[in-house]
Structure 1
């Protein structure tokens, strides 16, 4: 199976450098729509057999822009963004000052954040639900070319799950509307490209 991930375009929460998890359903802003439209202009939806998206507005709209009305989009809750609990919508800079151990050296949420953010998901929980979705695709569609439009932390967590034994530090954070491509079977996985920006 060939698998392509696309992260959604920018939202106002992204622009303001605020936490935006699976419990927050923000639409794309004007910049995010433009990012998706420019990236999609380099993109041929006809080469994909199936298209899946997170049901959240920012991913759904990005998927619609990329497929240009040429493909049906299937939605799955398992590829929603990580839920950051009480941290959702809060400013990253302020959280880093108050809870430095909840972030890695690059300023992204780290494993220990749950000590300070009640109600959030762990990276292990995200990897579990996301990999259940991916494993199902590999089993059902071993020879298909599949597009998945979803979220940055989810993509990074899944790539770490499959390619670095869950070590999140190996892969950089995914940019808005960036494309990552993989070849995946039940016994073998290969990175074709990661975090490629087309706009």
Structure 2
């Protein structure tokens, strides 16, 4: 098969991002003005690509981030598999190291290899990985789709990248993310490789 090109982005900025409030899968927030600007710049930079399909989570911030492509009438599918991790009772709250030791304690457990740990009412990375696997198989079994755009969420993106690149989930924080930052991957039919690691050139002010 020919090489499949996957353009993987995180959604644009929301007011929750600015205020340091945890969103997760249970907060269906919208982009703020900066987020819409980021989406417009990404579309301006990549509208020329022949995307065969656009994939998003079911949350509106991902839809708004690729609205320019949807306006081109490109085929679009939304998948719960691409939703952000559920942060359970912490969703909608502001988290800082001083305010919530429990939250950061769970993050430390993940780094130590306990990726079954979760916040109360939330998901573990293991559970996120499990719900993502059918989507990964979908990507692999659609060879006619040679170029696809995938828009999702920061923590879930880290989990997905670990799975695509065969890294243990404990290393997921090695995959940094920014609002509307881009990872470009290729799938050869047997393995995924990273061609571009967190590209944000399209977000620069014109003339920079």
Q: In 2, Cα distance between the equivalents of 1:54 and 1:21?
A: 12
Closer, same or farther: CA 103–170 of 1 in aligned 2, 3 Å: closer
Distance 1:26 1:143 in 2: 30
Q: TM-score, normalised by structure 2?
A: 0.83
Structure 2 residue ranges without an equivalent (≥5): 204-208
The alignment's TM-score, normalised by the length of structure 1, stands at 0.86
**How much has 1:28 moved relative to structure 2?**
0.6
In the TM superposition, what whole-angstrom CA distance separates every residue of 1:61-80 from its partner, at most 9, and x where no partner exists? 11113444241322111111
Residue 162 of structure 1 corresponds to 164
Q: CA RMSD in A?
A: 2.4
Matches within 5 A, 1:54-133: 54-93=57-96, 97-99=100-102, 100-104=104-108, 111=115, 114=118, 117-133=119-135
Instruction: Kindly provide the CA deviation profile for residues 110-135 of structure 1, in whole angstroms up to 9, marking residues without a partner as x.
Output: 94762xx2111110111121132022
Which segment is superposed worse, 182-191 or 26-35?
182-191
Q: Secondary structure at the match of 2:81?
A: helix
Partner of 2:26: 23
Q: Flag the 1:147–1:113 CA change in 2: closer, same or farther, 3 A.
A: same
State the match for 2:184 in structure 1.
181
Aligned residues: 194
Distance 1:127 1:14 in 2: 23
5+ residue gaps, structure 1, are none
Partners of 1:153 and 1:173 within 8 A in 2: no
**Aligned-partner SS, 2:66:** helix
CA–CA separation in structure 2 for the residues paired with 1:183 and 1:126: 22
Instruction: Measure how far apart 1:168 and its partner are.
Output: 2.8
Q: 2:6 matched to 1:3?
A: yes
Match of 2:139 in 1: 137
1:135-171 Cα offsets, whole Å, 9 max, x none, are 2121123662111111111111111122213233462
Distance 1:186 1:92, change over 3 A: farther
The answer on whether the counterparts of 2:9 and 2:150 sit within 8 Å (CA) in structure 1 is: yes
